[in-house]
Structure 1
Amino acid sequence: MKFKSTVLFLHRWIGLISGLVVFMVSITGAIFVFERELFAVFHPGYCTVDVRPGAAPLSLSTLIKNAQAATDHPITIIRIPGTHDKTQSYVFESLKRQPKNKVTGLFANEEIIYWDRIFVDPYRGKVLGKIDVETSFFWIVRQIHQFLYIRRDLGSVIVGSSVLLFIITLISGLIIWWPKNRKVAIKRLKIDFRSKWKRLNYDLHQVLGFYIFAIALLIASTGLVWSFKWWEASIYWILDGKHPDKGIATPPASNPSDKQSSPAPLNLMWADVQTIYREHQGVHINLLTELAQANVTIYYPGSTWWSASDTYAYNMHNGTPYFKRLQQDKTLGMKWRNSNYDIHVGKIAGLPGMCIAFIGSLICASLPLTGCYIWYGRKFRKKTKSKERPSRTKRKSKQLQF
């Protein structure tokens, strides 16, 4: 009995300390599960294009030239949709962040110098639209979710610590819920929607908390990767025994004549990728112009539950590959790390997994609210009732005296 009382004490006060942050993180996380789908709904003219029969996309060099004309900053990222998403636009981004040691101020937007996202019709080369990512709704939602919209070195500690406390409340809540026998367990697995609000609130807290326990634990543990390096290193140590080398080598020194012989190395890189991958689920190209390096990551359906992707590094002077990291060559820890985001938002299991993550996040957001109401009802309502009772007895005594 003393053990459960101690667990209840920890569950109550840890939940109160971390509740507000958990609520904010859970609500924003639920929104961000369908970030791409919702963005396409609100910006159909940016994301969807008309495809004429037999039409083929223009060259990447032409498309990036048109995208570059729409921004004053150099293009650093290219996102190409999957081979079966022919009606989707190409996305070009110009992004530059402040060096970590030069970040000043409190808020998250002060870490970014500029970030434009340009949407281009790949068949006509027309710029469909441009957004400033720093001021876009979904970017703000993501910054609240990860850092409470303050600097990541501060916000990640607050969010990560609150999520760690939330994991403790989940485990302690399961201990408190655990019944003595099967008969009690059956009662604790049901919600009586006909009961009064106080009882209904209690059922919503404990029953939904039990059903969502495993999903909430998975979402919380995968989310900690972006808050604490030691958490990521610990999982690498469990899976690989050490932190693997994920670095990509810089390109070898090239001859000055290479720049003249390859006027459009981007086209050569893309042609090489297309010969290797007839089908894919999307391509991400990161242009490191200061290193004359282009890192190309190709996503495709794998034969396992892990999210599969291969990465190639190309020399931007001549468009030739000099480095590759294939899915089959990755360690178990690297496969997990590349899949961590998809696990976190449920995409690893497709649309059903995303729906589960969405509902799970909403339930996680409700737990601090219902828990706080339980605490408030037990802490303050008893005091108000005890104060009301003496006043009534005094009135009765006065009436008797009269």
Structure 2
Amino acid sequence: MLIHEYQAKQKLQEYKIPVPKGALITRDEEIIQVLRKTETPVAVIKAQVHAGGRGKAGGVVVVESLLDGITAVRRLLGSKLVTNQTGAEGKPIDAVLVEEGVNIDQEYYLALTINRSSQCISLLVSTAGGMNIEAKEHAGSIKQYDIDPQVGMRDFVAIRVCQDLMLARKDWPAWIATLQNLYRCFTENDALLIEINPFIRSKEGEWIALDAKMDFDDNALYRHPELVLLQDDRQQTVSELLAAHYDLSYVSLDGTIGCLVNGAGLAMATMDAIKEAGGEPANFLDVGGSATTISVANGLDILYHDSRVEGVFINVFGGIVRCDIVAEGIIRALQKQRKDLPVVIRLEGNMKEEAIEALTAFSPNLEFVDNLENGAALIVQRINERKMA
């Protein structure tokens, strides 16, 4: 579960990590009052959306006058921000954070995330903080430290980071405290990612988290009712909200081919096959290895609710789940759909023949394939044929 920058900074303050002084604007009548309270010559206006790349997309504006501030806030508030992470539809801006300007001396990148390969929490740091951290030329500057959860962020780890970054000894205490507090924030809140970019040293010698991003484990939210209250449903699409309601693993993508698959590995392979066939997947949708009639029907409902979807590829391996149960879910969902989309189905495993027989009897328009590559190629072909008709 993602939260907004201003919420992430409130969380950082709980753990004694300094952030710029700021205030939130959600209504037009708050604009002048908030801007007049800014005590620095420069203010930073920041659109609050669940996406990165805001700076390059015009979602972060530096202003030097009250008039410029009013203009910037009014331009952003109530609009949609399109970045390289939002897709073409963008994300709604329902709140704007106004922060006092900071005299930046040096920028660093700082993050904690789960490393499933090493079964550790990985600390990532770089001297190349700021908007261009993702640029190829900065890839080599990122240092990684794997922290054993049973040991934690001990002083020796933080000291090693300070040495590797060649920080002045006077800055070590601030870094050691920040790293240890950030690690506590990560573990105590069941986070998947905490990112501070940039973590800056001001010309006055202060260390400040200038921007923050936090993502929490959905599966652990029952332990954190206070985090659930921070969720902003307006930042999610209808499909994402439906998937959360149905408890399905769903990620919206930019393509036009809806994918319904059981198992995350098979879902990834299906998306790769679609791209190799010249198509673009509209989503990652895993109905689970032990899918039921209900979960399959709900998954198809999500795909048909997505206006971008021009065709559907269903790829199911009947290992734990029987294919005839999957077929029942497909029929249940398609019975109530008015949209006419090409549907290609690949079923393998338990009760495959019975499932295909039932689906064929339901609709002769459903098409069946025997392997993944043929299925991906066929759904791409059918969509292209409709575009040319």
Same fold judged by TM-score > 0.5?
no
Looking at secondary structure, tell me which structure has more strand per residue.
2
- Indicate the TM-score class for this superposition, using the shorter chain for normalisation: under 0.3
Q: TM-score, normalised by structure 2?
A: 0.20
Per residue, is there more helix in 1 or in 2?
A: 1
Instruction: Considering Cα pairs closer than 8 Å and 6+ residues apart, tell me whether 1 or 2 has the greater RCO.
Output: 1
Larger Rg: 1
TM-score, length-scaled by structure 1: 0.19
